[in-house]
Structure 1
C-alpha cells in the first residue's frame, strides 16, 4: 500500500473500515461450559478455561486476538507513530530530579538521552562534589524485556544499599545488597520480597525485609538478615496470619524505630515497633488492631503523633508519650496502647479530611482536603501558629514531598495542575519564602497560557454533588460539537488528582476536552465519599460516572456522538459497569487491565490479593454480597445490546488483575453484543499491571489508545 493511500485511510473512522469488510473475522474463543455454584445459585462460565497462562491453547487465543487488533488498527499506525513522536518529543531526555539531602549525601535521579530507565546518583557533602553512580537501571535492564528497580535503602554509615529488582512484572522482587564504595554486589540474593519494604538497623550489618507469598503475592512475613549469612537461615521475626491484611515495613523518619504496619484495607491498622539500635529485640505493638480503627504514627522527640479515626470519621490528630509497653511489662496505664491517655491536638472536622502528615523538629505539616481539593497546613511546634499555603488555581494537586531531614525549617512539596507541569518547591516555614526549584520542562513549544481549566459540581441522581475537573485548549468550542474524554477511578479511597499530563496535550491540541469525574469510591470529599462508593453502595460509583456523562452532554461540553471514556484496573470495572448501564452514551471506551469478573475472582482466595479486597467489594460467600456483586459484575451482566467501540488492554503477567478477566470478558462480548462496533483486545505478552517498563516504551500503548479515540471522533487525520 503506497503512502498516500495509507495516509488517506487514517482520516476515515475505523468503523468505516470494518463496514468495508477489508479485515479478517475476529477470533472466536472455544466454548467450554463450567458450572459454578455459590449460595445455592449456579452460573455457567463458558470461558473459565482461559484461566491458565501455561496452556498453549490460551496463548494461541491471546496471540490471535493481538493479530486481529493489529490488523484492525493497522490503518491508524501512522497516526500512532506521530502521536508517539509527539509525546516522546515533549520529554526532556537529558534530565534530573531535584536533589534531596539525607545523612551526608545529596541524592538525585538522572535520565540520559535515549535512556529508558533512571540512573540513581549521589554526591557527598555538597552539590558540587563528584557524582557517584549507585544504580544505572539502563545497564541493569540489559537482556530483559521488562525491568523495575523496586527501591533502595542506604545504611546509616552511607556505605551499603539494599535494593530489589523485578524482571518479569509479576511484582515478585529479588533483594540484593551493594557496597556503594567498592561497587561490589554481595552474593545474597533473596527472592520473592516486597518492593521497598526493607530497613537497616543502626549496626550497618542487620536489615529487615518483607517476604511475599509467591501464589497470593501478599507480603506476610518479616525476616531479619545479617550480612554474610545464608538467607535460608534468616530469622522470622513476624508473620501475619490474617491474609486480609497488607503489610509495610520501613525505618521511621526520626530513625529511632523500625516499623511494621499491617493494614486491613481501609478498616483496621496495627503498628509494631523495634528500636533500630536493638535489632535482636522484639517488635512491640503500638496499639493493637481493632476493627474499625485506623491510625498512622509519626515519632517526634519524646512522643508520637497519631492520626486516628477513633471517634473521628475524617480523622483527628492526637499525641502520646514515647512509652512502648514491652512484652514483659504489666498492663499499666500511660503506654501507647492506653488510648485513654492520648491527647487531642487537632479535632475531627466534618468538612475537612485529614489525610497525611510530616514531622519536623520545629514544625508539623498536615495534608488535608476540603471541597475535594488538597490543602497543605503548616503548624509551628512552639507557637502553635498555623497557615495554609495558597495555590491560586481552580483545580490542582499539591502534596508533601520528600523530606528526610528532620532538623530543617524547609518544607519540600510538589504541585501540579491541569495546565501547570509538575513543580517542586521549597517553602521556608519560618520566613514564608517560597522557591520554585524545578518545573517539568515540556518541549515542543508548550505554553500553559494556551490552555484553561475549570472545576464544576454535577448533581448526581441521588443529590450528591460530584466534583469534575475539566481542561481544554482555549478556543475549543463548548457548543455541543467537541469530543470529550471522561476519566475516573473511584475505588479504594484513592483520589484522582487533577494533575498535569504532557501526553494529554496531543488530545487537547486536536480539539478534545478532558474531564476527570471525582466520583464516590474515592476520598476527595472526605471519608464518607469513600464509604458511599464501596461494598453494598458500590453502584453509586457507576451512577456518578454516568450522571457526569449526561451532564457533559446536556451542558454542551461533549457532542452527543463524541463522548469517550477511559479507566484502568478498578477503573476498568467502572468502564464495564457503565457500558452495561448506559452504552448509548459513549462513542468509544478504553478499558485498561479491567477488573471485570468480580464474583469469580472474589470467590477464589488463591488469586493474588483477593482476600485483602473483601472490605472493598464484600465477600461473595455471604449471600447479600454475592447477589449485589453479581448484579453489577461486568462479565456476568453482559447482555444482547449494542456496546460502544471497545479497546481492552491487559498484561499476561498482571499480578493485580489477572489477564483472563479481560480475555473472558471480550470473548463473551463477541457472542452477545449487537451491531458492528469494534471490539479489540490487546495483551502485552511481556508485561504486567503497569504495562511496558521504560519511560518511552509505555508511550506506545498510550499512542494506540489515543489514535483509537481520535479516529472514532473524526480527528484522525495527520
Structure 2
C-alpha cells in the first residue's frame, strides 16, 4: 500500500502568538488560542483537521472495513459473563449481536450454599433472570454513553447507576426499585465515578469534584430526601490530593481515602453510624503511602496496612482497628525488588497481590501464621489479578488470567483444595489456536547500563522473531508506576496474522520492575523513560527484529508524551508514530494550576511553576516545546477527543500544527463527542481501532 500520489493540503492554523513568561523565560506560543473550546474558529479548525484526515486516509477505507470485519468475526457478539455471587443472587452481563452496550442481569441462587456459578448459554433461558440495566436503552438519543457507577444493595432491592452522556466523566446518579421497577425521585447530578450504597441500603455515598476536576468532597445522601440536604462527610482542601470512599468487604467501615502520587491518608467511619466522626488511621506523612483492609481475627477487629514507610517496595503490617497507630505486627516484610501491590481481606484468609521479575503474582495469606502460598502458572509471560469477589466469606476466589496468546480467562481458586477451576475462557471465533503464536521477553541495555524488559508476541508461521527483520509495532507507556501487562487482544490478531511483531517496551516510570523502576522515570529522572524507549527500539533493530522503515511506535495519554518525546529524540528510528490522547504540551499544562489535574500532577512531573530547575527540565523534553526544524519526522497520527478532561484536545491540536510548520506529515483525528477513553460502544470502539490499525499497517507497508 502507498499513500496518495497527489498530496492534499492540510489545514493551516492561524498564528495568534501569546507570550508565556516564567522564571525569566519568555516563550511565544502561536497556537494557545486553540484552548477556546466553544469558539467557532476552534471548532472549525478541528472539523477541518478531521476532514483532512478523512481525505488522507480515504485509500484505507477498504482495509479498515476488512480489519473491522475481522474483529467482529472473531468476537462472540452474543455472550454472557461468568456470574458473580452477591447476597441471594448471581450477577452477570449479557452482550447481544448488533447492540453497542452491555446488559446487566441477575438470577436467584439455587440455595444458600450454592457457590458454583451456573453455566449459562445464550440459547437457553436463565431461570428467574431479571434484566437490571440495558445500556442500549439508556443510551438511546445519545452519541456517547458511559456508566461510572453501578451497584445493587446487599438486600437486592435497589439499584443505583451513574451515567455520562458527554464523555467528560461527570455522572448523574439515579436509583431504581428492583421490586416494582419504578424509578425513584433520587437523582444526583455532577458526581464522580464510584457512588455506592451503604450496607443497609439507606444511604448513597458519593464524591464530587472541584473546578479542576479533582474529587475533593464525599457526600452522604439519604434516600427519599432532597439532594440539597445531602451531608458533607469529608472535604480535602489540599489540591494535590484526590478523594475517594468505599465500604470494606466486611461492611464494618466506610473508608475515606485521599492520595497524591506520593502520599496517602485514610479515615474510618462506622458503617452503622455514617454520621459519626471519621477516625484517622495514620496521620499524613509526606512521601508515605498506605492503604488498609479490615479483617476480624479471633474476634478482634484488625487492619492489614500496606505501606512504604521505610520500605521502598512496601511491607504489610497488622494493627488493631481500635488503635491503628499502636503496635505494628509485620506480616509480610519488605523485600527489595518484590513490589507489594495490595491485600484483599476475607473472613478466613486474604489474597496478596505483588510483582516479581516483571510479572504480577497472587498469593493466599494464612491468618494463622502469616505464610503466603503463591499461585503458580505455567506461561513465561502472563497477567493475573483478583476478579469480582464481593462476598465476605466465600470458599472460592475469582481470578482473572490471560497472556499475549491465552485469551482472557476466568478462574475460581478453591481455597480448601488449592485447585484452580476454569469457569470460562474468552471465545475467539474463526479457528484461533494459541499454539500458532509465540511470546517471549528480551532485554535491552539502556545508556546507563540498566536492563530494560521488552515483551514480544508474533505468529509462528512467519518465522521466529529476530531471525529476519519484520514489521514491528512497539508500544510504551512509562508513567505513574503503571505496568503494561501481557494481555490478550482480539484486534491485535489482525496485525499478527499479517506478519507484524507486537512488542511492549517496559520503560522506567512504569511499575514493572518495582518501585525504584518508577522512581527512576519520574520528576527529574523523566528522560530515562524516553531514552529507554529509544534504546529498546535500537535493540530490536540491532538484533534483527525489524528495521527503521518497518517500525511504528504507539503510546497513549502519558504514553503519548513518550511518543512526542521520542519523535524529537530519534525520528530516524521510526516509520510512524501513533499517539492516542497524547500529553504533548506537558509544560504548558503543568504550569497552569487552574487546569484539570495540574496540581496533583506536580508529584509526578515536578512543579515548574515554582521551581526553575523543574521548569528548565520539563522545557527540555516537552514535545511541543522541542519540535525540530532540522530533522525528517516519521508519519504521525494523533487521536484525541473534544471532551477529554484528562488530556485536553488542545495539546495534540497544537502539536500537530507545530509539526506542520517544520514539514512533518502529521494527521489529527478529534472525536467531537467523546472523552479520554475515546468513543463509547463496542462497535464504535472496534471501528476506531480498525482505523488506527489500518493507518499503522499502511505505514509499515503491510498489504492486507
8 A Cα contact 1:172 1:217, kept in partner: no
After TM superposition, give the deviation of residue 385 of structure 1 in Å.
Answer: 4.4
After TM superposition, give the deviation of residue 310 of structure 1 in Å.
Answer: 1.2
Query: Match of 2:274?
Result: 279
Report the Cα distance in structure 2 between the residues aligned to 1:222 and 1:378, rounded to whole angstroms: 33
State yes or no: 1:490 paired with 2:478.
yes
- Aligned partner of 1:690 among 660, 668, 677: 677
Query: Match of 2:123?
Result: none
8 A Cα contact 2:319 2:325, kept in partner: no
Report the Cα distance in structure 2 between the residues aligned to 1:540 and 1:519, rounded to whole angstroms: 8
Q: Secondary structure at the match of 2:608?
A: coil
Report the Cα distance in structure 1 between the residues aligned to 2:349 and 2:540, rounded to whole angstroms: 44
8 A Cα contact 2:233 2:275, kept in partner: no
8 A Cα contact 2:81 2:94, kept in partner: yes
Query: Match of 1:366?
Result: 352
Please show how residues 4-23 of structure 1 align to structure 2 within 5 Å.
12-14=1-3, 17=4, 20-21=5-6, 23=7
Query: Match of 1:300?
Result: 295
- Aligned partner of 1:467 among 449, 453, 472: 453
Report the Cα distance in structure 2 between the residues aligned to 1:636 and 1:517, rounded to whole angstroms: 25
Query: Match of 1:701?
Result: 688
Report the Cα distance in structure 2 between the residues aligned to 1:229 and 1:434, rounded to whole angstroms: 47
Report the Cα distance in structure 2 between the residues aligned to 1:88 and 1:44, rounded to whole angstroms: 47
Higher relative contact order (CA 8 A, sep 6+): 1
Report the Cα distance in structure 2 between the residues aligned to 1:716 and 1:591, rounded to whole angstroms: 22
8 A Cα contact 2:249 2:346, kept in partner: no
Report the Cα distance in structure 2 between the residues aligned to 1:353 and 1:696, rounded to whole angstroms: 38
Q: Deviations over 1:103-139 (max 9, x none)?
A: 1211111111211111111122235640111111011
Please show how residues 110-149 of structure 1 align to structure 2 within 5 Å.
110-126=94-110, 127=118, 129-149=127-147
Go from structure 1 to structure 2 and tell me whether the alpha carbon gap of 1:319 and 1:658 turns closer, same or farther (over 3 Å shift).
same
8 A Cα contact 1:480 1:560, kept in partner: no
Query: Match of 1:523?
Result: 511
Please show how residues 208-223 of structure 1 align to structure 2 within 5 Å.
208-213=205-210, 215-223=211-219
- Aligned partner of 1:73 among 57, 67, 71: 57
Q: Deviations over 1:331-362 (max 9, x none)?
A: xxxx2134xx1111110001311111211222
Q: Secondary structure at the match of 1:468?
A: strand
State yes or no: 1:647 paired with 2:637.
yes
State yes or no: 1:350 paired with 2:336.
yes
Please show how residues 177-192 of structure 1 align to structure 2 within 5 Å.
177-192=175-190
State yes or no: 1:597 paired with 2:582.
no
Query: Match of 1:233?
Result: 229
Query: Match of 1:664?
Result: 654
After TM superposition, give the deviation of residue 466 of structure 1 in Å.
Answer: 0.9
State yes or no: 1:204 paired with 2:195.
no
Report the Cα distance in structure 2 between the residues aligned to 1:383 and 1:40, rounded to whole angstroms: 61
State yes or no: 1:289 paired with 2:284.
yes
Q: Deviations over 1:639-677 (max 9, x none)?
A: 102100011110011111000000000001101236xxx
Query: Match of 2:627?
Result: 638
Number of residue pairs matched by the alignment: 682
Runs (5+) with no aligned partner, structure 1: 1-11, 324-334
8 A Cα contact 1:707 1:716, kept in partner: no
Report the Cα distance in structure 1 between the residues aligned to 2:32 and 2:371, rounded to whole angstroms: 61
Report the Cα distance in structure 2 between the residues aligned to 1:74 and 1:67, rounded to whole angstroms: 10
Q: Secondary structure at the match of 1:643?
A: coil
- Aligned partner of 2:601 among 604, 610, 613: 613
Report the Cα distance in structure 2 between the residues aligned to 1:620 and 1:394, rounded to whole angstroms: 42
Query: Match of 1:580?
Result: 568
Query: Match of 2:532?
Result: 544
After TM superposition, give the deviation of residue 90 of structure 1 in Å.
Answer: 1.2
Query: Match of 1:624?
Result: 613
Report the Cα distance in structure 2 between the residues aligned to 1:50 and 1:153, rounded to whole angstroms: 39
State yes or no: 1:58 paired with 2:42.
yes
State yes or no: 1:101 paired with 2:85.
yes
Report the Cα distance in structure 1 between the residues aligned to 2:204 and 2:400, rounded to whole angstroms: 31
After TM superposition, give the deviation of residue 173 of structure 1 in Å.
Answer: 0.6
Q: Deviations over 1:139-182 (max 9, x none)?
A: 10010000011121222322112210000000011111111111
Q: Deviations over 1:384-414 (max 9, x none)?
A: 4432111111111111111112212312111
Report the Cα distance in structure 2 between the residues aligned to 1:455 and 1:696, rounded to whole angstroms: 33
Report the Cα distance in structure 1 between the residues aligned to 2:199 and 2:347, rounded to whole angstroms: 21
Q: Secondary structure at the match of 2:623?
A: coil
Report the Cα distance in structure 2 between the residues aligned to 1:362 and 1:251, rounded to whole angstroms: 19
- Aligned partner of 2:377 among 378, 388, 391: 391
Report the Cα distance in structure 2 between the residues aligned to 1:688 and 1:458, rounded to whole angstroms: 35
Q: Secondary structure at the match of 2:537?
A: helix
Which segment is superposed worse, 434-443 or 357-366? Answer: 357-366
Runs (5+) with no aligned partner, structure 2: 111-117, 119-125
Q: Secondary structure at the match of 1:143?
A: coil
Report the Cα distance in structure 1 between the residues aligned to 2:697 and 2:200, rounded to whole angstroms: 58
| TM-score with structure 1 setting the length | 0.93
Query: Match of 1:317?
Result: 316
- Aligned partner of 1:170 among 158, 165, 168: 168
Q: Secondary structure at the match of 2:696?
A: helix
Report the Cα distance in structure 1 between the residues aligned to 2:399 and 2:78, rounded to whole angstroms: 23
Task: Please list every run of at least 4 consecutive aligned residues from structure 1 whose deviation after the TM superposition is greater than 4 angstroms.
Answer: none
Q: Secondary structure at the match of 1:254?
A: coil
Query: Match of 1:447?
Result: 433
Report the Cα distance in structure 2 between the residues aligned to 1:203 and 1:98, rounded to whole angstroms: 27
After TM superposition, give the deviation of residue 444 of structure 1 in Å.
Answer: 1.7
Query: Match of 2:498?
Result: 510
After TM superposition, give the deviation of residue 497 of structure 1 in Å.
Answer: 0.4
8 A Cα contact 1:360 1:409, kept in partner: no
Report the Cα distance in structure 2 between the residues aligned to 1:46 and 1:588, rounded to whole angstroms: 26
| TM-score with structure 2 setting the length | 0.95
After TM superposition, give the deviation of residue 687 of structure 1 in Å.
Answer: 0.8
